[in-house]
Amino acid sequence: MLYAERDRDGKLVAIRKKSPEEKAVAEPIGQEELVEFLTDENGVDASVSLLRSTDMRVIRVLEDLIDTLIEKNVIMLTDLPDDAQLLISTRKKARQRMQNFRLVEGDIL
């Protein structure tokens, strides 16, 4: 959960991982607002950081999409390049093995 610090007009001025005070309330921050804040305050480096922070979730979405397309016979795994087939198969096996372990909140399989 992120803690948003806002000015009197409600504009986002800071984002914190930990509450700056005990009485602070975690507040949802919209993705557009977050991108605008990071870009305005820190430029391109912050945008790159934001993209990197979402990479694993996007990869998981793409894996699910590929699985769905294969299940619906839209594509076959063998239609993909050999390197892609190997990566997808390796990740799928790793996720299957990890299903037996307790995961912490936020883990992406």
Distance CA(6)–CA(83), nearest Å, equals 47
Model confidence at 46, in pLDDT bands (50, 70, 90)?
low
Q: CB neighbours (10 Å) of residue 70?
A: 16
DSSP 25-69: ------HHHHHHHHHHHHTHHHHHHHHHHHHHHHHHHHHHHHHHH
Distance CA(11)–CA(19), nearest Å, equals 18
Q: What is the pLDDT of residues 66-105, one digit of tens each?
A: 999 999 999 999 999 999 999 999 998 888 888 767 555 5
Domain residues of the chain, as ranges?
A: 1-42, 55-102
The model carries a pTM of 0.51
Residue type, 13: V
Q: What is the pLDDT of residues 11-38, one digit of tens each?
A: 877 777 777 665 556 666 777 777 777 7
